[in-house]
Each structure stands twice: as C-alpha cells, then as structure tokens.
A and B are shown apart, each in its own frame.
Chain A
C-alpha cells in the first residue's frame, strides 16, 4: 500500500509542502471549506494508493490532476443529485429517500453515468429504458419509433461500450 514511501518519498513531507495551496485551490473551486478539506484528503489518499513505483517528479502537477478528477466527480455528483431530486419531486406519489437510500442511489447513478458517455443519445435512452424501467424491446421500439431488431442492436452496442470502457479505464 505505502508505495510512495517505498519509492523513497515521504508522504508527510509532500503533505506539509502541498496541503495548504491544494486546500485553498479546492476551496476556491467549490466555495466550501469543509468540502475542500474532504477533497484534499481524498487527493492525498490517492497519492498513498499510487500504483507506480517511480517517484513523483512533480507533486504539484500530480496533485492538481488528481484533485481535478475528484472535483469533476464532485460536480457531476451534485448535478446528478439535483436532477434526481427534481425528478423525485415531480412524482405523483411523493418518495422521500432515507440518507442511506440516497447515498446508495447516488453511488449507483455515478457508476451508470460513467458508462453512458460514449453512447449515442438514442442508444443511451434505449439502454436505460430497458435496464432501469424494464421495458420490453417492443415497448422501447414503439417509444423510439425504431424496430425491435434495432433495439437489440442498440443493447449490444451499449453493453459493448460499457465493457470496453471498463477494459480501457480501470478506476483508481
């Protein structure tokens, strides 16, 4: 786990030298000191879990890159949460998720969201109608005005995209 130490660098030194500006930068980006502290913390956690054995040449560049990635996730999560709560509030029957349900759902939404990036809009919609709403291919075909055969093609395309995404980009 402690690869940074193994490669001759001391996390403590990096932390002392860089935590200040990183926290400041994140605070400016998020407008929230607490949120910035969490993201800075996560950034250093990533540093600890770094897979490469070679030393960090440019800690500042590395930390900024990681922090940006986390920020993007953070913004995405916020956008998803907002959109999801909006959708919930327009339901005929009110649904009030518990904090756990909310956290679990957002986590799952983030995972699904990451899979949808490379999909064409129609493929994306068909995939969601099938996997979330549980509609049959015939129902989806009627809704999108395309043949069932096309929907089957969309499904294979969507799944292959997700599979390749996982191959290409191991998380972490």
Chain B
C-alpha cells in the first residue's frame, strides 16, 4: 500500500518520540543505542524526525546550563496553576423577606444579549439565576448557565476554556487561522476536545458531564490514558480516572441556553435539583411526592419572575402543593 509522505513523517515522529523515551531511560544499554543508530540510518525521514527531537531538547539544555533548573521547573508549573477555587457569593439571600413568593422577586440579573468578548484571556462568571451568552474571538458561541465560572484562554496553540464551576454550552466556531487550533474545555477531571461541534459541559460533584448535540467530542481523563469519543445525540462523563458513555444526550442540557427548563419524564426530585440551581431559595419535595414523574417545558429566562410560575404549574399538574418550610425554604407536599 502506498503511504503518503505526511503519514510517513508522522510515523517517523512517533518512532522518534519512542526512541527519545527509551534512550532517556537510565537502563538503556549499548544494544539499545545500536538499534537506535540503525533506525536513524534506515530512512531520511527518521533522521529528519530526530533532528526535531534535538531541536526541542535545545531550550532545555540552555535552562540546565545557565540557572538552577528547579527554579525553571517551578516557574513553568507555577504559571499554569489554576487560580484557587473561589466560592460563589450567593445573591442577596439574607436581605430578602421571609417566605412566600415575594422573596423570589429579588432583582436577579437578566440574561444579557450576545456580547462580543474582546479580551483573549478573561475570567467569566454568572451568579445564581443568571445566564450569559458570549461570542468569542473565533466566532464560537459560549453560553454560561447559572452559578458558573470559566476562564477563556485562547493562545497561539490552543483555544482553551477552563470550566471551574457550573455548566457551559459551546457552539464551536471555525478557527480562521491557517492551521486551526484545537478547541478544548478543561475541568478538574480532564479534557474535552471539540471535533467540530455543539456540546455542553457541566461539573456535577465528582464528575464532568458532557452532552453532544452536533458533531462529536473527545473525552480525556486527567489521570488515565483511555479516551472516549462521544457522538452527536450521546452523552458521557469524565472522572479524573476515566471517561465513560452515559446514554442519550439530554435536551435539558441544551434547553437552558434558550431560557428553558426541560423535564423529560424525570422524577420531581431531580427537576427540583435542576430548578434549585437558579435560585438561592431551598426547594425540596417530601418523599411522598419526590418520585412523581414530570414531563414539561418551563421558561426560566428570568428566575425571579419565572420560579413562582413554575411552582404554580407544578401545583396544577401534580397532586401537590407548595408550602413554606422556613426562611428561603419551600417544601412540596402531597395535596
């Protein structure tokens, strides 16, 4: 079979990287070195590939020669350390009146119009009940769900978004550079690489959930080698150690960008957990009603206005009523 020059070069680079790793091993012996010399002489692309390895090693040897190497290492690792996690300050909960729906009317910020993000390196956040949509430099559209914090870090090599808290949906744009840069979302659990696509990434507890609506993404756990490709219509999740499939993508994971809360035959308890992300009011269902299943689409564009309406709709469609259980605390109980 004919092999294209590009494939040959790539294969040579992979082999060169392998040789680099083997020769760097303190147990590498003369036999190994002889085999390496034979490989080197076997094809011109091998020699070319090795020349690149040496080029990459050059700045390292300069750093070793001039200054304390540990300091260089520390500096290189330090500039990549993620900013310390900050607790999101809940919006004005203490200042609100006791009980009743009136307390939901607090002025939560409304979703903003599309904004063009000028800064290349920006920390973005939304408060509880706030959603936000932005257009990034490359035309990608980034939506932030409630209580979300991300960093947009576009550099020469990578279009990188770091998700610290909450949930985002990305409609990836086309990188107009000559060599398009990969678009990735990093979380504490690993890396999600866009393969031309619309997808959402959400941090929930000890995992990162990914739902794909167009194209595909690749999931790579922080501490494991096996990656997983998730196609349109599917979902998956990442823990620090592994990536796994989750079944069908949930419409709810896309609906929020349109200000919609979608319940697709889910238990009431799950729906309340979702709804609870948009408000500082504590919502709970007593056991007798918490497993009732719910189907519906609810508007949550403006949580302050919409939450009472949603609760009223629940009272209308399920055998339950909403009771005040304490300060900023509502309980759904059987009728």
Contact = CB atoms under 8 A, between A and B. Distances in A.
B274 interface: no
Given A72-B156, A156-B21, A87 B63 contact: no
Interface of A: 68-69, 71-73, 75-76, 79-80, 83-84, 86-88, 91, 95, 97, 101, 104-105, 107-109, 111-118, 120-122, 124-125, 128-134, 136-138, 148, 152-153, 155-157, 159-160, 162-170
Nearest to B158: A117
Contacts of A108: 59-60, 62-63, 66, 72
B109 to A, nearest CB: 27
B95 interface: no
Contacts of B70: 87, 132-133
B222 interface: yes
Nearest to A89: B71
Given A95-B67, A104-B62, A137-B26, A87 B78 contact: yes
A159 B20 contact: yes
Interface string B49-88: 1001101110110111011111111111111100000000
Contacts of A76: 79, 155
A86 B156 contact: no
Given A132-B63, A132-B72, 14 more contacts: A80-B79, A83-B78, A84-B74, A104-B66, A107-B59, A108-B63, A109-B59, A112-B63, A124-B80, A131-B60, A133-B73, A137-B27, A166-B52, A166-B55
Interface stretch (B9-17, B36-44, B123-131, B242-250): B9-17
Contacts of B53: 159, 163
B223 interface: yes
A169 B73 contact: no
B157 A169 contact: yes
Given A159-B17, A163-B17, A168-B179, A105 B72 contact: yes
Contacts of B222: 120-122
A169 B159 CA distance: 14
Does more than half of chain B's interface fall in helix, strand or loop, or is it mixed? helix
9 contacts: A73-B156, A83-B74, A95-B71, A104-B62, A108-B60, A111-B59, A118-B158, A128-B73, A132-B64
A118 B157 contact: yes
A71 B60 CA distance: 24
Main secondary structure of the interface of A (DSSP, over half): helix
A88 B78 CA distance: 13
A42 B62 CA distance: 25
Nearest to B182: A118
B24 interface: yes
A124 B77 CA distance: 8
Interface in B262-294: none
B34 to A, nearest CB: 19
A128 to B, nearest CB: 5
Nearest to A81: B75
Nearest to A157: B17
A85 to B, nearest CB: 8
